Amino acid sequence: MSRPSQVPLIAQAERHGRRFAVVDGQGSFTYNDLLDASSRVATELLAGHDDLREQRVAFLLAPRFPWVAVQWGIWRAGGVAVPLPVNATRSELEYFIDDTGASTLVFDAQAEPLLGPIAEVRDIRALRYDRILAHQPAELPDVASERRAMILYTSGTTNRPKGVVTTHANIAAQITSLIEAWEWSADDRILQCLPLHHIHGIVNVVSCALWSGATCEVLPRFDANAVWDRLAGSSLTLFMAVPTIYVKLIAAWDAAPPERRAVLSQACAKLRLMVSGSAALPVSTLERWKEISGHTLLERYGMTEIGMGLSNPLRGERVPGSVGTPLPSVEVQLVGENGQPIAPGMPGEIEVRGPSVFAEYWGKPEATRDAFRDGWFRTGDTAVIEDGVYRILGRTNIDILKTAGHKVSALEIEEALREHPAVAECAVVGVPDLEWGERVAAAVVLNDGGALDLPSLRIWAKEFLAAYKLPSRLLVLDALPRNATGKVTKPAIKAMFRDADSSN
């Protein structure tokens, strides 16, 4: 029989016993089920040794109960969990596995044809989940909270993704900060439809639920109608998603017959909290969702390296276009280009410190050093404090344009352009220009039947934007390029403008 766990998240779960932890397409599983399955996984991973001692274990499973059991099993054996993306290519998987130096791969039957050959070529131990559970649990090691727990890979822009290392203490701090701010309890029930190789799904949804003794319903993938069915047909209390998901849910609601719309809107009203994050939420989307659901979406700000840093309040006014104030245990400051404090009301780079901030970039000591300044993590995001709340202006090197001597927020311009009746989606970037430094360039996706050219867009936008903020370049696209988390990949859009220039 294994001793009580020293891993904070699992120690919490040991208090919840017969409560339901995870519900998926295969059934309903209690906390006791999860503890038993994860101890069997840990026993198999240990293979007679007393402790994995931070060996990296990469795993690829469908987002169901076994995914959680494997993650917890890795932790309980003293390993470092490396969740792999479900839709990754073989070359991407090989990069993550090689970069972490994973000693073991764990997968389900669906992923075996992809990961099995990778393990064989590298002579890495390969384990299939359904063949692990037959083993009886053995005694498991003590795992100190200061030890490394997980490596998640950032999306990357121009360079290969970096592995962000968090300790068990970091993860516990991220969880407890959100539980306090958003008042999680064992009575909560949340729907999980986000990718489980990013912090949003892993920490904000699954881990917060399981720390609290709540129930996490898991969908195998996002499907707008399936999400609406669950919102209408179960006792959910929370829902968290990215802006793209809310846009798709709005479209599905619009396409439903009137009587179905009424049922769905009434179902939303029963939830106590709906959250949006991982990308900027257009005000137009926030307002439309409020019309449909009655909820003002709670916007927050976070990233893989820090967990969540800022949040609008659970109780109190939520300011559209803002991300609120620092969460419990999180310190935030804005600084200028040289790291000096900025004057009130001026934009500056967000720096964060506190127990939730990551430990290191895996195998990249120089990148780790460069990411910190006097103990503060440099996020690379620019914000301004207005009326006491933070408003994100964008990535310092991507969303902050320098044109004709002015610093301009791409997000501000995007917010204005989305109001154009022909524009369904848009993304603004800066393209190099000898005279202006950078030109404001807009890539747009049009509504069905819409038409748009640059002169008419500029004339229309003069009502909302200063002259130096007006787009001087326009591309009309069928779809904006996005990464696995749904974020628009602005380097790809910049490349499209370069290609357009070279072809002219």
pLDDT of 28-80, one tens digit each? 999 999 999 999 999 999 999 999 999 999 999 999 999 999 999 999 999 99
Residue 2 has pLDDT above 60, yes or no: no
Instruction: Tell me whether residue 475 is in a domain.
Output: yes
User: What's the confidence (pLDDT) of residue 202?
Assistant: 98
Check residue 54 and give its pLDDT: 98
Please check whether residue 239 lies inside any domain of the structure.
no
Compute the average pLDDT of residues 265-288.
92
Q: Considering its fold, how many domains does the chain have in total?
A: 2
The parent domain of residue 139 ranges over: 8-143
Q: For residues 176 and 204, what is the distance between their CA atoms, to the nearest angstrom?
A: 10
| Residue where one domain finishes, among candidates 143, 168, 184 | 143
Mean pLDDT value of segment 247-262 = 96
Tell me the percentage of the chain whose pLDDT exceeds 70: 97
Of 62-76, 114-128, 244-258, 383-397, which gets the smallest average pLDDT? 383-397
What's the pLDDT score for residue 159? 57
The confidence score (pLDDT) of residue 5 equals: 64
Contact 443, 491 (CB under 8 A): no
Question: Does residue 194 fall inside a structural domain?
Answer: no
Quick: pLDDT tens for 401-454: 888 777 788 888 998 999 999 999 999 999 988 777 889 999 999 998 889 999
Look at residues 114, 143, 172 and tell me which one is the last residue of a structural domain. 143
Q: Which of 169, 132, 157, 142 is nearest to 57 (CA)?
A: 132
224 within a domain of the structure (yes/no)? no
| Angle in degrees, 0-180, between the axes of helices 31-46 and 65-76, rounded to the nearest 10 | 50
d(C-alpha 80, C-alpha 100), whole Å: 10
Can you give the pLDDT at residue 156? 52
Residue 395 half-sphere exposure toward CB, CA atoms < 13 A: 16
Q: What is the pLDDT of residues 291-318, one digit of tens each?
A: 999 999 999 999 999 999 999 999 999 9
User: Measured between alpha carbons, how far is 75 from 57 in angstroms, rounded to an integer?
Assistant: 10
Per-residue pLDDT, averaged over 133-143, amounts to 90
By three-state DSSP, how is residue 31 classified? Answer: helix
- Of 112, 143, 174, the last residue of a domain is 143
Question: Any idea what the CATH number is for the domain that residue 126 is in?
Answer: 3.40.50.980
- 484 pLDDT exceeds 70? no
Query: What ranges make up the beta strands (E) of 197-295?
Result: 215-218, 238-241, 273-276
Average per-residue pLDDT in the chain?
A: 93
Q: How far apart are the first and last CA of the chain?
A: 71
Domain contains 96? yes
Which pLDDT score is estimated for 1?
A: 45
Location of structure tokens 């109608």: 225
Please return the burial class of 504, using the count of CB atoms within 10 Å of its CB with bins 0-12, 13-18 and 19+.
Answer: exposed
- Output Rg (C-alpha) for the chain, integer angstroms: 23
CA distance 91 to 402: 36
Out of 49-63, 81-95, 341-355, 396-410, the most confident range is 49-63
pLDDT of residue 294: 96
pTM, 2 dp: 0.86
**What H or E segment, with its residue span, contains residue 62?**
none
Q: Decide if pLDDT at 157 tops 60.
A: no
Q: What is the pLDDT of residues 492-504, one digit of tens each?
A: 999 999 888 877 6
More confident residue, 120 or 159: 120
C-alpha pair distances (Å), 379 with each of 133, 151, 193, 326, 409:
42, 18, 27, 14, 16
Confidence check: pLDDT of 179 > 60: yes
Buried b (16+ CB within 10 A) or exposed e, 144-180: ebebbbbbbbbeeeeeebbbbbbbbbbbbbbbbbbbe
Q: Does a structural domain hold residue 490?
A: yes
Give the SS3 label for residue 416: helix
Q: Average pLDDT for residues 245-274, to the nearest whole number?
A: 96
| Residue 230, in any domain of the structure | no
Look at residue 340 and tell me if it is in a domain: no
Long-range pairs of 310-314 with CB within 8 A, sequence gap ≥ 24: 310/390, 311/181, 311/182, 312/389, 314/181, 314/182, 314/183, 314/273
pLDDT at 158 over 60: no
